Amino acid sequence: METAARPNGAAASKDSNDIPPLQYRVVAKCSVTKARVGVMSVRHADVDTPVFMPVGTQGTLKGVLPEQLLALDCRIMLGNTYHLGMRPGTTVLEKAGGLHSFMGWPRALLTDSGGFQMVSLLQLAEITEQGVRFQSPYDGSECMLTPERSMEIQNAIGADIMMQLDDVVKTTTTGPRVEEAMHRTIRWLDRSIGAHGRDDDQSIFPIVQGGLQPDLRRVCASELTKRNTRGFAVGGLSGGESKDDFWRTVHLCTDLLPEDKPRYLMGVGFAADLVVCVALGVDMFDCVFPTRTARFGCALTRAGQINLKQRTFAKDMRPIEDDCDCSTCRTYTRAYLHHIVTVEPVACSIVSVHNVAFQLRLMSDMRDAIREDRFPEFVKSYMAVRFPDDTVPQWIRDALAAVNVNL
């Protein structure tokens, strides 16, 4: 049974600040795989896990209103520290009372540290022991993001969960730079913990780094778990590595992290990947994919992604998915969406609502299957629909076999 959302997404009572700002408990485990169901209670919501978290980079989910997310029973979403720190900045966020109030979102928020954007988006980024030096894309001025500054911005944002600033290297990087980044990430965690000014309301998650090298991942996880944090993230994946390397690294990291704390796999959002990684023991996911692909006219279904721009849908009077009860599928046909996608701005919103609903329903279906101890059967059924005629990729077969599910 899902935990009930707090009325209007209301925050927990602040009468007693001796209640930790994040409590996590495992309520069901799969008897075959590493999948589990948990409840993560933060100040603004009780979040059932495994959970997919939509990404609202600038403090808004592109094309979706907060009330639409509430109607979908979304309990937690992401904001981006780098973008929000640059604009509107901490002065405005503090004056607004934090991002929850500023954007009108009453439930839980998670913010990333900004490190990934520094490296992936900026041409002029230089990483030193002090932090990441970069040129502002807004006015060209030179800026420095340090672990301390990242914490300052995230404290102003007021997210329930904050990510430490980590030293991000491209996933496929090899050589001494990977080990240097891993050790620096540990040192930056200690600086982040020292700079964190609101531990009564917000929780830091460290990020396990180490590239595709198992020994480095083991060292990093061993060091990070010595710190008294309330959850952990696995970073440095979904960046171009092979799927074989991807699942093996996830499998290793969930084995290394504590059973009694949530495990967050950063930047993963393809449906088949979610199913595999839940089986491997991951509790939390995020990705821009559902809303980004909607802006290109693509909708998500259990059988895979469909491109509504294709003429094959011009006379298709079915909803995107027959068994989906989101407002999009209750109201619009594929033919109508074909008529407006990429032409009318509202199409982005209509398809985005469905795509987010699809991700949230997939997670809910997995939670139900785990609670009822039929998760392996769910996985087999899902893969048979997603990859008909025995076309399941070998990496998925290998990953699931590692947790005793043989397709």
3-state secondary structure 290-301: HHHHHCCCEEEE
Do 272 and 300 belong to one domain?
no
Do 138 and 232 belong to one domain?
yes
Do 256 and 343 belong to one domain?
no
100 marked as part of a ligand binding site:
no
Give the closest residue to 109 by CA, choosing from 97, 99, 96.
99
Distance, CA of 54 to CA of 291 (rounded, Å):
8
- The answer, as to whether pTM is greater than 0.85, is yes
Is residue 35 a part of any domain in this protein?
A: yes
Do 276 and 184 belong to one domain?
yes
3-state secondary structure 52-120: EEEECCCCCECCECHHHHHHCCCCEEEEEHHHHHHCCCHHHHHHHCCHHHHHCCCCEEEEECCHHHHHH
Is 286 a known active-site residue? Answer: yes
Distance, CA of 86 to CA of 89 (rounded, Å):
5
| Token duo for residue 380 | 């087999």
Do 239 and 279 belong to one domain?
yes
3-class secondary-structure state, position 352: helix
Is residue 284 a part of any domain in this protein?
A: yes
pLDDT tens-digit map of 267-312: 999 999 999 999 999 999 999 999 999 999 999 999 999 999 999 9
Which comes out higher in pLDDT, residue 16 or 273? 273
Distance, CA of 52 to CA of 283 (rounded, Å):
9
CATH code of residue 265: 3.20.20.105
Do 267 and 312 belong to one domain?
no
Q: Which is catalytic among the residues 160, 201, 283, 286? A: 286
Is residue 74 a part of any domain in this protein?
A: yes
Q: Which is catalytic among the residues 46, 112, 167, 283? A: 112
Distance, CA of 216 to CA of 379 (rounded, Å):
31
Is residue 10 a part of any domain in this protein?
A: no
Do 51 and 115 belong to one domain?
yes
Residue position matching structure tokens 């059932």: 48
How high is the pLDDT of residue 94? Answer: 97
Is residue 6 a part of any domain in this protein?
A: no
30 marked as part of a ligand binding site:
no
pLDDT tens-digit map of 42-72: 999 999 999 999 999 899 999 999 999 999 9
115 marked as part of a ligand binding site:
yes
324 marked as part of a ligand binding site:
yes
Is residue 205 a part of any domain in this protein?
A: yes
Domain boundary among 256, 288, 320: 288
354 marked as part of a ligand binding site:
yes
113 marked as part of a ligand binding site:
yes
348 marked as part of a ligand binding site:
no
| Token duo for residue 252 | 């290793």
The total domain count for the chain is 2
Do 203 and 346 belong to one domain?
no
283 marked as part of a ligand binding site:
no
Q: Which domain holds residue 224?
A: 22-288
Is 112 a known active-site residue? Answer: yes
59 marked as part of a ligand binding site:
no
Distance, CA of 267 to CA of 286 (rounded, Å):
5
338 marked as part of a ligand binding site:
no
231 marked as part of a ligand binding site:
no
How high is the pLDDT of residue 5? Answer: 64
298 marked as part of a ligand binding site:
no
How high is the pLDDT of residue 369? Answer: 98
Is residue 394 a part of any domain in this protein?
A: no
As to burial, measured by CB atoms within 10 angstroms (0-12 exposed, 13-18 middle, 19+ buried), residue 316 is middle
Domain boundary among 237, 271, 288: 288
pLDDT tens-digit map of 371-404: 999 999 999 999 999 999 999 999 999 999 999 9
In degrees to the nearest 10, what's the CA dihedral of 66, 153, 168, 125?
A: 110
Do 302 and 228 belong to one domain?
no
The number of beta carbons lying within 10 Å of the beta carbon of residue 176 is 8
Distance, CA of 204 to CA of 220 (rounded, Å):
16
Average pLDDT score, the chain: 94
Domain boundary among 288, 310, 330: 288
Do 278 and 301 belong to one domain?
no
**Residue 119: pLDDT over 80:** no
Q: Average of pLDDT values for 8-30?
A: 77
Do 154 and 260 belong to one domain?
yes
Give the closest residue to 73 by CA, choosing from 161, 22, 6, 157.
6
Is residue 33 a part of any domain in this protein?
A: yes
Rounded-to-5 percentages of helix, strand, coil across the chain: 40, 20, 40
Do 236 and 299 belong to one domain?
no
